[in-house]
Structure 1
Amino acid sequence: MRSTKQLHQKLINECKKQNAKAQMQLYNTYAKGMLLVANRYVKDSFLAEDIMQDAFVKAFKKINTYKGEVAFGAWLKRIVINQSIDEMKKKKLVMVSINDEVLNVVEDNDWEVANDVTPKMVIDAIDKQKDKYRLVLTLYLIEGYDHNEISQILGITTVTSRTHLMRGKKLVKEYLKVISHAEGY
Structure 2
Amino acid sequence: MNKTVCINAKIVEGCRHNNAKAQMKLYDLYCEAMFIVAKRYVKDKVIAEDVMQDAFIKVFKNINSFKNEVTIGAWIKKIVINQCIDYLKKKRIELVSIEEKELKLADNDDWMVEDETTIEKVLQTINQLPEKYKTILNLYLIEGYDHQEISQILNITEVASRSQLMRGKNKLKNQFKDFKYV
Q: Report the residue type matching 2:25 in the other structure.
A: Q
Query: 1:63 maps to which residue?
Result: 63
* AA matched with 1:150: I
| Percent pairwise identity | 51
Q: CA deviation at 1:54?
A: 0.8
In 1, Cα distance between the equivalents of 2:97 and 2:106? 18
Partner AA of 1:4 in structure 2: T
Once residues 180 and 130 of structure 2 are traced to their aligned partners in structure 1, the CA distance between those partners, rounded to angstroms, is 21
Q: Deviations over 1:109-160 (max 9, x none)?
A: 2232222322222222212222111111111111222222211211111221
Q: Mean Cα displacement is larger for which, 116-125 or 102-111?
A: 102-111
1:120 is aligned to 120
Q: Is 2:48 the partner of 1:48?
A: yes
Shift of 1:12: 0.8
Contact kept, 8 Å, 1:105 with 1:159, in 2: the verdict is no
Alignment of 1:1-185 (within 5 A): 2-100=2-100, 102-110=101-109, 111-182=111-182
TM-score by length of 1: 0.90
Question: What is the distance in 1 between the residues matched to 2:35 and 2:120?
Answer: 18
Q: Which has the higher contact order (CA 8 A, sep 6+)?
A: 2
Q: State whether residues 34 and 52 of structure 2, in contact with CA within 8 Å, keep that contact through their aligned partners in structure 1.
A: yes
Q: Provide the C-alpha distance between the structure 2 equivalents of 1:90 and 1:106, rounded to a whole number of angstroms.
A: 28
Unaligned runs of 5+ in 2: none
Name the CA distance, whole Å, in 2 between partners of 1:125 and 1:39.
Answer: 13
- TM-score normalised by L of structure 2: 0.91
Q: Work out whether residues 121 and 176 of structure 1, in 8 Å CA contact, stay in contact via their aligned partners in 2.
A: no
Q: Report the CA distance between 1:105 and its aligned residue.
A: 4.1
Rounded to whole Å, the distance in 2 between the matches of 1:75 and 1:98 is: 33
- One-letter amino acid of the structure 2 residue matched with residue 43 of structure 1: K
Query: Matched residues in 2 for 1:119 and 1:107: separation?
Result: 20
Q: Distance in 2 between matches of 1:38 and 1:117?
A: 23
The offset of 1:181, in angstroms, is: 2.4
Distance, in Å, in 2 between the alignment partners of 1:164 and 1:26 is 36
- How many angstroms does 1:99 deviate by? 4.2
Task: Structure 1: give runs of 5+ residues left out of the alignment.
Answer: none
Deviation (angstroms), 1:104:
4.3
